[in-house]
Structure 1
Amino acid sequence: MADPIKYQRPPVELAGAMDAYLYGCTPAEDCGVCASLMHELDDAKKAEDWGKAYDAAAAVRNHPRHDQRPRSISATGSPCSAPVVTK
């Protein structure tokens, strides 16, 4: 019988399959919100902050697709299907 390993081994990294599943997203064209979220995603990946990277990718995936809804101009001036907020 083989002796069990009594020391910690390095973590196992899956070859890209999980990255595409967790961090894959497609931003809407010409959308400032999607562009900002993609920038956050890239920064988080570079910093290896996987929680923030997942949050940014999920926000892009959940952001409304602009070709499916009427467009309006958001408070930031970018085309977005979210209602305009005025104070």
Structure 2
Amino acid sequence: GDDIATALLHAEVDGERLTDLEFNLFFLLLLNAGGDTTRNLVAAGTLALIEHPAEWARLVADPSLLPTAIEEMLRWTSPVTM
């Protein structure tokens, strides 16, 4: 398959495949990191729309703008925290 799980199952580090523990821990990391950034983006985007009601009104009036709005939110405020 052409997915991250299959790639990791066949991946090698210094000639050795990942152990079950390494494989499982990697996916735990992805789950946590993906959840954090998604939550942060939704929160920051919601706050931005609250602070800019005209933009919120544009999205309500024209939902086709949503993909562009999400891209702009990613550019304007980073979902990654340090």
- Is the shorter-chain TM-score for this pair beyond 0.5, marking a shared fold? no
What's the TM-score once normalised by structure 2's chain length?
Answer: 0.27
Greater relative contact order (Cα < 8 A, sep 6+): 2
For the pair shown, the structure with the greater C-alpha radius of gyration is: 1
Q: Taking structure 1 as the reference length, what is the TM-score of the superposition?
A: 0.26
